[in-house]
Structure 1
Amino acid sequence: MRALSELKMGEKATIVGYNFSKPAVLQQLLEMGMTKGTEVTVSKLSPLGDPREIDIRGYQLSMRSSEAALIQVQA
């Protein structure tokens, strides 16, 4: 297992867990479709690596690396 923030451009993985201390942040990500068992792909990285664009459930989601670090994935 590793954090979503560790994936490189083009890598695919499946969400397996979360590491959140604030339920409100977790609720927002769940509402955007970032549920356990969902496959994600890192499609773009900014020149400095933050933010990153994630393909999930047929749409693109931009997120900060600090948020992506709290999502556990398995390749």
Structure 2
Amino acid sequence: MEKQMTLYQLDTGRGGIIDSLTASGRLRRRLLDLGFIPGALVTCERQSLFNDPKAYAIRGAMIALRRDEAKLIKIMPIK
């Protein structure tokens, strides 16, 4: 089994299962409302020139997150 990592560390084309969120307050609520909930499957679909932001497919939507936001989401990568 692979080790836990942040969503930002996920390479393009790879997927993972959300384990936890370390965000708090309004940002935590926003991420949860966007579908970044524990147990959800997320895939890194695209990245910009300097890797900020990256676009993630989650629950039928494509969501772009900046580096600081993606680093607050812990995932378990899948093969």
2:74 equivalent in structure 1? 72
1:5-40: CA deviation from partner (whole Å, max 9, x where unpaired): 0011001000000112x3210001111111100000
Aligned twin of 1:10:
13
Identity %: 28
1:47 aligned residue (25, 46, 49): 49
User: Which runs of at least 4 in structure 1 moved beyond 2 Å after TM superposition?
Assistant: none
* TM-score in terms of structure 2 length: 0.90
Q: 2:39 is matched with which residue? A: 37
Q: How many residues align?
A: 74
Give the TM-score taking structure 1 as reference length: 0.95
Q: What stretches of structure 1 of length at least 5 have no aligned partner?
A: none
User: Any stretches of 5+ residues in structure 2 without a counterpart?
Assistant: none
- Alpha-carbon separation, structure 2, partners of 1:23 and 1:48: 28
SS at match of 1:50: coil
Instruction: Establish whether residue 59 from structure 1 lines up as the match of residue 61 from structure 2.
Output: yes
